Amino acid sequence: MDTVEANNPRKQATTNALMIRYHAYGRRVRTMLYLGGVLQVRTHSAIRAYIAGFSVILMCLSHCIFLINLSRDHADNLILMVKYFSQMTSFIAPALMSACFLIKRKKLIELHETLNDLFEQELERDREAALATLYAFDRPFCIVFFTLASTVLLYVCPPLISIIRQIFHHTEPRRYRLPFPAKFPWTVPINGGFLFYLHFLYHLFLGWWIVFTINSVDSLFGFYAFQISSILHAMSVKLGSNLRSRGTFSEVLETCVRTHRRLFQCSYMLEDIWQLIILRMLLVNSILICALIFEASQLTDITMNVFVFIFYIALKLLQTFMYAWYGNFITSASEQFREGIYFSDWPDSSLDRHVRANVIITMMQKPMTIKALKVSAVNVNMFTNIVNTAMSYFFLLQSLDEGR
């Protein structure tokens, strides 16, 4: 830690508070991964990880089949078909995320350990620079979780309250319903009983996976984006500081170039693990936002469904924007680091020819960019493209509905 920081109690207290907040942020993400059944670390048993992962995949994909079975009965109703499609895409997401994490388990563990080591090294050198952008990452984590949990609760709570009310008032005959629409190949009693409550428990697990699996995977992407961008930012600050000794500057520059090379490898691993997840978001969220707006436009009365649509649309917009924002942070920090090298005193420093060649190669490299299967860069432009596409699909759906 800097001498100036050590001599400034107020600055040191702020830095300590940021450290506490950073560790709390990391613990929350880890807890979410554990609750979502997608935690992949060496200290966590591989057998338990595969059992939890396959449970998520089996439950979510089976419900997609039940939704397809239900949609066959309403093929002539465009509004219901749109509704079932939007829910189907939501249940596919946890299954895809869990599958990607199981397939890329070793690479995910390597990425986690590498970034943690690099970030801890930067914390030892300059905590203030490494934690400068923490607020931009841990706050959206809480906002996305609240929005996602509220959306699922709006589906789960009404039927649960109805069951409790009918039991309390001894209503006869009782008519229960499940939180999520589905058509099972077998008959599910609507007046209670063991079979009904077993199906209700199955739906509660579905809601659990949607909340914790989706939120944990999205938050983990943000956590890694924070670590990569913060390390790049800390190195940029270091290169811009006034180092008196040429030898010291040469050592710092050599360390930064070596760290930058490892960060590039981490960005490739991050892209490889998340590329299918991001591609699904690119293909689905524009259609899903369009479907939700179209379904909401057909409502005539203000009911509980209005709040469901509001939270659901806000969730999809927020989820898309978060990925775009995280990707933009990485690219901006990478550009800032390249500029930091360019405007530093590296031509006059005592570097050997190998390090000097690496410095030139680093400046010539393109900024780090996360892409989805090399198709689309994850940045703010991606978010605007998805919103524009969603509105185009919405007007198309409206014209199709008016022509029926």
Range 200-239 burial, b when 16+ CB lie within 10 A, else e: bebbeebbbbbbbbbbbbbbbbbbbbbbbbbbbbbbbbbb
Q: At a CB cut-off of 8 Å and minimum separation 6, what does 359 contact?
A: 253, 257, 341, 346, 351
Q: What is the structure's pLDDT at 4?
A: 46
User: Is 126 within 8 Å of 234 (Cβ atoms)?
Assistant: yes
Q: What is the structure's pLDDT at 276?
A: 92
User: Is 84 within 8 Å of 71 (Cβ atoms)?
Assistant: yes
Q: What is the structure's pLDDT at 304?
A: 62
Q: Amino acid letter at 401?
A: D
- Helices and strands counted in the chain (H then E): 12, 2
Q: Is the preceding peptide bond at 173 cis, omega within 30 degrees of 0?
A: yes
Q: What is the structure's pLDDT at 352?
A: 61
Q: How many domains does the chain have?
A: 1
pTM for the complete prediction? 0.89
Q: Map tokens 């560790």 to a residue.
A: 23
Helix (H, G, I), strand (E, B) or coil at 377: strand
Rounded distance between C-alpha atoms, residue 19 and residue 128, angstroms: 9
DSSP code per residue over 171-211: -SS-----SS----SS---SS-SHHHHHHHHHHHHHHHHHH
Strands (E), 332-403: 371-372, 376-377
Q: What is the structure's pLDDT at 171?
A: 78
- HSE-up of residue 107 (Cα within 13 Å, Cβ side): 15
Rounded distance between C-alpha atoms, residue 259 and residue 118, angstroms: 8
Q: What is the structure's pLDDT at 236?
A: 84
User: Is 76 within 8 Å of 66 (Cβ atoms)?
Assistant: no
Q: Amino acid letter at 228?
A: I
Q: How many residues does the chain have?
A: 404
Q: At a CB cut-off of 8 Å and minimum separation 6, what does 276 contact?
A: 96, 100, 373
Q: Spell out, as residue ranges, where the chain has pLDDT lower than 70.
A: 1-7, 241-247, 249, 298-305, 343-364, 400-404
Segment 194-246, tens digit of pLDDT = 899 999 999 999 999 999 999 999 999 999 999 999 999 988 888 776 554 55
Q: Domain limits at 47?
A: 3-402
